[in-house]
Each structure stands twice: as structure tokens, then as C-alpha cells.
Structure 1
């Protein structure tokens, strides 16, 4: 026979008050503890699951967007993107490095989330990009750093290295040119524009900012296209299609001619300073073919050299292959 337990109403009310009082005390203690202990930030301590922060800084009056992750007191790795993309190309690599490194990845003006000033008031050149990236890292208090350079990121990075060679702790080169041998068939119509500067030659290059070409850059030469997210070319093309952006890209194609006269100085920098260098190069790249990778060995005899069965954006289909190479290199040469 089950006997029901009964409790008077006053006693039940007193019990509820006790429970609520204890709960309130617990909340108060937890709140006090939380306010006394600063929130953990992946930029002050390493983490197995680093957080990427998305920030904007004003440099010389231009708003520069950048991604940042990792402990602020760790060795710095600066990631410099290519055409037609942005720091978005490093979205997977950043957290893969940020457990041990302070990673910074800016967008150039007119690319990604950075400001796109009018061509009437802003000169779109590699010199200007180098100045703005240099200004950003100075604002962030960075004194020394390794650079990951790719495509347009190479001439931007070379300008930083030539200006302050003592600040460069190492180089990771992915399909980024420093030698005449790397400018093959793809560059012929661009060279024509360099030679004559005509509007006809400029207009002929407009096909390079179409969806067809943008998708080609991500898919050509890739061994497994199913590994590549279509978001890449959809996002890049949306930004290329902004009013006025195609003209900005034509300005950059024309200014690329200023990079070639820098090559001898860049090669002399390699020979004199011998920065620790890792090359991870998509060997099937039509834009920057492997012909441009091999000459690095002339000036950097200790270079760590890897041709990867991939195309232009190898981080998209060979991330699992190249990331261990990058981490191993940084651990031995930079940390």
C-alpha cells in the first residue's frame, strides 16, 4: 500500500524560497567569477581551435580589411593573396596555422572586403599596395614576419622585402613569380597591352574578368574538381562585377609590367639574405607555370621545393597535402 507524503502549504513555500535563494547565490558567484577573470582570447594564448577575427584598419585614409588569428606574441605569418580573390583564399589555412603563429591576411584595395576607392582619387598599383600592406603591419606593431606570397601577393611581398629585408624571417611561395621564365603563353595579350597601351588591347583583356575565366582559374589543372567549392568563383565574380571594378583590374594588369624590372633586385635579395624558403607550386598552373618555380633554386640553393599535382589555387584541392609541409617548414625555420 503506497502512502502519500503530504506537506503543508507554508512549509512548501519556505522550501521554494530556499531553493530560489541558493540558485540566486550561485548565479551571483558565477557572475563575479566571470567578471574577475578576463575572457580567453586566441590572440593571447594558443588554442587547438583558433578563432579568426575579421577586422578593418584605416591606412593612409583607406579602409583595409584583414583576417587575424593566433597568439599576438607568436611568430607572425603574413598571407598575401592573388588575383582575382582576397584573404578568403586563406580561410582554411589561417586556423590551421593559428595555434602556433600570429596570422595576418589583408585584402588589397578593390579586392575582398577592403575599400574600393575611385580610380580618380586612388592609383591602383603594386607600389601602392605594398605601401598600404606595410602600413597595416606597422599599425599592428609587427616587426618581423614570414610571408606567404601567391600570384599578385608575390610582387606586393617583394616590395616589402626589398624595403626592409631584415624584417623577413622566411618565405612560402605558391605560384608567385620572380623570374622572366614564369611569364609564358597566358601573358602574351597582357604583354601586348604593356607594349602599346592601347584601348583595343585593354578591352581585349576584359575576358579575364568574366565568370568563365574566374571559374577556369579554380578548376584548370586540378586533379579532383569535386574538392573545390563553387563558392570561390561565385564570390570572386560578384566582387569583380561591382561597377568600376573591371577597370581597376585593367589598371592592375597594366601595372604588372612594373614588376619585371624588380626581378633582378629581388633575385639579388635572395642571394644576399638567403631567407628560408618553401616552394609549394601547382605544377599544372597555366597562368604561372612551373617554369617560374625552378629558377628559385639558382638563387636559393637551400630552398625546399615541392611541385604539387594541382593548378593555380592549390589550397583548394591539395590543402591536406601542402598544409603539413607548411607547418613543418615553419616549425623548423621560423618558430
Structure 2
């Protein structure tokens, strides 16, 4: 594996990131943003496949993985600004080339990618959201209320088995148990902050943001828990290519690595 781990300074402390810069770098850098409550770990199967001729950067967003948290929950706009600053600082240090870059996101990472693209259309060249959580205001409010209640912790560990049971409903049935265990471990790393990313998503007006996008967009739609919201989101995006992946659930970057890498490579090369 050619992935190297680094730390960069951010406004809330250190940001942990994975970087692969294999071979001669000729294409724009690629930033990969993970879902809640995971980390850049989710991208490890795809990073080497996408790092041929480009620098690939997969940070842990603040408060997740090994990145320091903000003192209070950050908004999507604040997270987008932090990721833009990260790319600026990496370019200034010569870690990645200067100039525009591309962004791939997954769930929460997709929303951050949209916010980055609207904030800095001169810097974000193309985006690849994998699933988009498009909900109306009533659903966003209801979901915000539910997640802030949060799960209670149990001395007997039953909250862990409850989390496992819930995750089983989301996993692609083809994925192996070892990967499921790693996925559960990533969920636990953020502790009581686990809901912060969801709160950021439900507090962001994605329906207004999507029509403002000026970049080409490849919207990948696995048949996961955001299958229907993603279908609703597609018509709002001006320059979109929708690619459904029926039957694919969480774990798809392991199971469908070559297909997804080829899809993203072809889109970024055009």
C-alpha cells in the first residue's frame, strides 16, 4: 500500500489525513471526504486505485478519526471552509500541486463537497457525490430532534450490540464480517461527538445549494439508506450525470472498487 499518513494544522487543532502521490503527478489533486461517523479509513480501498497520476488526500474531518474536534459542533459551511484551508495549506507546503482540485464525497462528505464547490467555484473543478441526503425542512427538523437525543450507554454493552444490529441493516450483504467490525470501530472513535456530522447535514439547506452548482457532477447512487433522497436530489443539479448502483450498500468501496475507480477516473479525465 502506498498510502502515507500525515497531520496538518487546522483552526481547531491537528487534522489527520491519508495521502497517496504515486507516480508522476499530472492531474489535479483529489480530495476525498468521508461519511459520519467514519474517517478517511473508508476510502483506503479506493485511494491507491485513484492515485495514479494525481495526489489523493483523504482527511478525517474535525472530530472524527484521529483529527482534533472543534469546541462545539461545526456547520457544513465551517467544515467546507476548513477543507478549503487544508487544500490551500497543503499546496503552499508543496505537498500537492497548486491550482484547482476535484472532490469526492460520501453522505456527509458529499454535502461538504457541495458547500466547497459553491464557496470556491474557481478552485473546485469537479465533484463526485456518492449519495446525497436531500430532505425537506420538516424531515430535517425531525431528524435533528432524534439524533440530539442520542443513544444511551449501557454498562452491559448492550448499546454496542444495538449499534451492530442497526449497522447490519445498512451493510451490503456481500461484505465480510471483518470489514463490518472495522466499520463499527470507526463509529466508536468519535464517542459523544458521533451525532455532530448528522446535525451539520440536517442544518444545511442542500435543496438550495444543489441548483447553484456550476461544476460537472458525477452523482453515484448506491442502493443504501440514501437511495431515495439521492434520486430526489439528481434533478436539482444543473450539470449532473446520475449513475445508479442498485443492490450496492455500505462496503461498496471494497466490493465494487475497480468499477467505482474506473467510473471516477473517466469522469475526472473528461
TM-score normalized with structure 2 length: 0.81
From 58, 61, 70, give the equivalent of 2:9.
Answer: 58
Query: In the alignment, which residue of structure 2 is the partner of 1:174?
Result: 130
Q: Are 2:114 and 1:147 aligned?
A: no
Query: Are the counterparts in 1 of residues 12 and 68 from structure 2 also a CA contact under 8 Å?
Result: no
Does residue 78 of the first structure (1) align with residue 18 of the second (2)? no
Q: Shift of residue 88 of structure 1? A: 0.4
SS in 1 for 2:148: helix
DSSP-derived class of the 2:9 partner: strand
Q: How does 1:124-203 map to 2 (within 5 A)?
A: 124-141=74-91, 142-177=98-133, 179-180=134-135, 190-193=143-146, 202-203=148-149
Residue in structure 1 matched with residue 207 of structure 2 by the alignment: 263
Distance verdict in 2 for CA 1:165–1:214, change over 3 Å: farther
Q: CA deviation at 1:295?
A: 3.4
Task: Give the distance between the partners of 2:177 and 2:195, measured in 1 at CA.
Answer: 30
* TM-fit CA distance, 1:231: 4.0
Measure how far apart 1:189 and its partner are. 5.1
- From the superposition, tell whether residues 57 and 311 of structure 1 become closer, same or farther in structure 2 (CA, over 3 Å): same
Q: Which has the higher Rg, Structure 1 or Structure 2?
A: 1
Q: Deviations over 1:115-170 (max 9, x none)?
A: 235xxx44433233222211110101243111101111122222211211122221
Classify the secondary structure of the residue corresponding to 1:279. strand
Count of aligned pairs: 257
Aligned to 2:175: 225
Cα deviation digits, residues 172-209 of structure 1 (max 9, x gap): 111133x337997xx7852445xxxxxxx733x32698
Greater RCO (CA < 8 Å, at least 6 residues apart): 2
DSSP-derived class of the 1:165 partner:
coil
Corresponding residue for residue 5 of structure 1 = none
Q: Is the 8 A contact 2:40 2:60 kept in 1?
A: yes
**Distance change (3 Å), C-alpha of 1:230 and 1:55:** same
1:1-335 to 2 correspondence within 5 Å?
Answer: 51-70=2-21, 71-116=24-69, 121-141=71-91, 142-177=98-133, 179-180=134-135, 190-193=143-146, 202-203=148-149, 205-206=150-151, 210=160, 212-213=162-163, 216-217=166-167, 220=170, 222-226=172-176, 229-240=179-190, 245-246=191-192, 248-260=193-205, 262-264=206-208, 266-270=209-213, 273=214, 275-283=215-223, 285-286=224-225, 288-300=226-238, 302-331=240-269, 333=270
Deviation at 1:305, TM superposition (A): 2.0
3-state SS of 1:295 partner: helix
Structure 1 segments of 4 or more deviating over 6 A?
Answer: 181-184
| Distance of 2:217 and 2:101 partners within structure 1 | 13
Cross-structure match for 1:30: none
